[in-house]
Amino acid sequence: MPQLDVQKTIEELTLGEKIDLVSGIDFWHTASVPRLNIPSVRMSDGPNGVRGTRFFNGVPAACFPCATALGATWDTELLHKVGQLMGEEAIAKGSHVILGPTINTQRSPLGGRGFESFAEDGVLSGHLAGHYSIGIQEKGVAACLKHFVCNDQEHERLAVDSILTERALREIYLMPFHHAMRICKTACVMTAYNKVNGTHVSENKKILTDILRKEWGWDGLVMSDWFGTYSTSESVIAGLDIEMPGKTRWRGDALAHAVSSNKVNEFVLDERVRNVLNLVNYVEPLGIPENAEEKILNRPEDQALLRRVAAESVVLMKNEDNILPFKKEKSIAVIGPNAKIAAYCGGGSASLDAYYTVTPFEGVSGQSKGEVQFSQGAYSHKDLPLIGNLLKTDDGKTGFKFRVYDEPASNANRELLHELYLVSSQGFLMDYRHPKIKSFLYYVDMEGFFTPEEDGIYDFGVVVVGTGKLLVDGELIVDNTKNQRLGSAFFGNGTVEEKGSKELKAGQTYKIVLQFGTAPTSDIDTRGVVIFGPGGFRFGAARRTTEEELISKAVELASKADQVVVFAGLTSEWETEGYDRPDMDLPPGTDEMISRVLDANPNAVVVIQSGTPVTMPWVSKTKSLLQAWFGGNEGGNGIADVLYGNVNPSAKLPLSFPVRLQDNPSYLNFRSERGRVLYGEDIYVGYRYYDKVNLPTLFPFGHGLSYTSFTRESLTLTTTPEQANLDDGEPITVTVTVTNTGSVAGAETLQLWVLPPPTEVNRPIRELKGFAKVRLEPGEQKTVEIVAEKKLATSWWDEKREKWASEKGEYEVQVTGTGEGVLKGKFEVEKTRYWNGL
């Protein structure tokens, strides 16, 4: 289809067509106008993989390590490659726009979507996001920076008012967007759900028009977060181009009325339409047909890249006595709740059905040449583990039958409308469609057969958006139809898990049936809750056991083993959209298990998987510790590559790990209170706070060890003469000589910090202003260059002038890296100057 003449097309559009174009038609598509050759544009979630158009029973996709894992690589070249593969995955799914990257600032370890963002620092996050977006857009796919801005918690996320100073907004929360835009002006930006200083971002003209468009010179498309539009006239006037998803709540007839009554001038609506048409032109060269078939890639080279990223994101936190790398020839005991599950992504809109997953146990077993033994040690599930993969259909397939009816099971004459075969016993039906289903009200029987391996009492659990009854051989075990309580599952739409139990015999086969009714069958009051379609279901089961029984078996195994690795951490149940963690703790029983295993074998290696920091009360006992995040498809192989030394760890923490939650600067001001959250820590987020108050962390921002050693020396610093116009750049160039002084190849990350002189206002002790990663063979030496712009390296936001202030004085430069040692230099700002823009 040819490029549109945008101005001519706007002139030819009717008012009704213009209004159609500024809202979605369904969950993922924009409107088309066939008579003017305007096609529909498809969008897809993309923080760590391109899901396509279906949450329910979707086409599998590549799942990348979560964003904090990508942030831990500190590698812009690698993020560029990740972006390129993301673009190719989007094309395979028929998507023109990837809804990512997410680059919000992690104020607190508790943020439910913390794993979706790269870092606590805007320079690191912005640089990584910029190169990631370049990779996406090189493929012709549109990237979408989100969530603009201050979407830093899940509690009352649609309503909360983020109250902060203009200085904190500029120096901390806009900073990742600022840096990303300097590197890649993405085609799209998504607004945040929340208010900023009293006004929802989707109708905040200061943020959307004055800063984003006028000051930063950006001219792409602004879309709302899903159901994050709250007005008709105000959002259009402020600069929100398109309301998502469809069908519209705020545009349509309401917008037509606003235009006809001069609440919204038609020329303002034309500007919103212009940005939609510009996006159509941007993605037109892709040649993706409307309603394109969704396909899979899963190529060997993609798998290799995913494995490389997973390995390069693993942070070596401790390695006393050089316990790691393990010896492949020796036997190994694998212990822990995360060993035989794939914690491959966080929950919510970032989640997807992966092509495949590799568990840590599979990764270790695949490389070990010695005996591999396993002990559970503890369980990490919040709700009972999904049972779908343990069921069989009546014809012997793994999984269960999903049968849709027009009436409940009590009606003997009901009609079977549709039958599917599923494996996962969790499903969110918001995008499930069938021609025979005419409304959100219908009923589903899910039937499979379970043959337990052990005798015992088995607990069964049911979570629904709707109603559900679970039966075992016709006996009602769980009734989740009455007195329902709203929980955190399914974006806060689901019930609390209701449980029941039954004694089962090993080897005997039992018929499991979940009788499910969609959301209209529930009597929960959902006013004030965003309802995503007809409902969802989750059913799980596990043999009942005691914490002591599990730990004792793990301790016994660890005490006799040559090599021991403990896999623990969180999962998508604990870190998920729609729900903030109540604390930083690992799941119940985990800390006790780790501590006792370390008592039994002090050389046990601990591997933690989480998207954000956790408490580690046993940390002084462990000699060797890895932080492995949520690792995507290849997470288990990536971890095993590091454990066995195939890959020398080079990752650095993109987040500060506090000793305890109370040490975090947002501790007193996290969560909504009466509809608002005060950003009381101001600019002192993350390391800026810990440095300023001289408070030790468990592990600091930027920390990460290696199996080799490096020296850093010969720092030289050059600056260009100051110009009349700060837009000329005035680069500061720092060069450092780096040598690999160890016996194995490795990568060093240099971190460039700038320390300001005393100025008019309080400032952080130091701030990250640049970084560079270099790979070195044993004995190899390289000169590494880091470049930062003087105005960005020296400025603070002056609220009186409403400008950045680069204040005169002598600034210190520090360069750090793996291990101890700081190189220092100085440069001068000769006169104070003020500036705006990127």
Q: How far apart are CA 310 and CA 218, in angstroms?
A: 33
Beta bridge partners of 748: 774
CA geometry: angle 648, 71, 132, nearest 5 deg: 110
Helix (H) or strand (E) holding 274: helix 266-283
The DSSP letter of residue 383 is S
The beta strands (E) that lie in 407-482 are given as 416-422, 426-428, 443-450, 456-465, 467-472, 475-480
Q: Which of 705, 787, 785, 788 is nearest to 738 (CA)?
A: 785
d(CA 200, CA 192): 8
The first and second tokens of residue 380, run together, are 């990490």
Say if CB 806 and CB 788 are below 8 A apart: no
The residue among 488, 698, 705, 706 whose CA lies nearest residue 613 is 698
Bridge partners for 563 per DSSP = 332
User: 772 and 712 in contact (C-beta within 8 Å)?
Assistant: no
Q: Indicate the SS3 state at residue 384.
A: coil
Could you give the 3-state DSSP secondary structure of residue 837?
Answer: coil
Which of 268, 216, 259 shows the shortest CA–CA distance to 240?
268
Structure token pair of residue 186 = 């993405």
Of 438, 428, 430, 443, nearest to 489 by C-alpha is: 428
- Asked whether 211 and 231 are in contact (CB, 8 A), the reply is no
Contact between 87 and 134 under an 8 Å Cβ cutoff? The reply is no
Distance (Å) of CA 727 to CA 174, 242, 761, 790: 19, 33, 24, 10
What is the per-residue burial (b if ≥16 Cβ within 10 Å, else e) of 386-408? Answer: bbbebbeeeeeeebbbbbbbbeb
**CA 561/CA 326 separation, integer angstroms:** 13
Decide if 225 is catalytic: yes
Per the listing, tokens 């500024």 go with 22
3 state DSSP class of 564? strand
What amino acid occupies position 138? Answer: E
Report helix angle 122-138 to 175-183, nearest 10.
Answer: 40
**Residue 813 φ then ψ, to 5°:** -110, 135
Question: Which member of 225, 383, 445, 591 is catalytic?
Answer: 225
Dump the DSSP string for 195-206: EETTEEGGG-HI
Using CB atoms within 10 Å of the CB of residue 513, give its burial: 0 to 12 exposed, 13 to 18 middle, 19+ buried. Answer: buried
**One-letter amino acid identity for 493?**
N
Distance CA 133, CA 82 (A): 9
CB atoms within 10 A of CB 187: 24
Cα–Cα distance for residue pair 377/593, rounded to 1 Å:
6
Phi, then psi, of 602 in degrees rounded to 5: -60, -15
For the chain, give the number of residues. Answer: 838
Task: Say if CB 812 and CB 755 are below 8 A apart.
Answer: yes
Q: Tell me the torsion sign for CA atoms 658, 660, 663, 665.
A: positive
CA dist., res. 100 & res. 106, Å (int): 16
- Catalytic residue numbers read 225
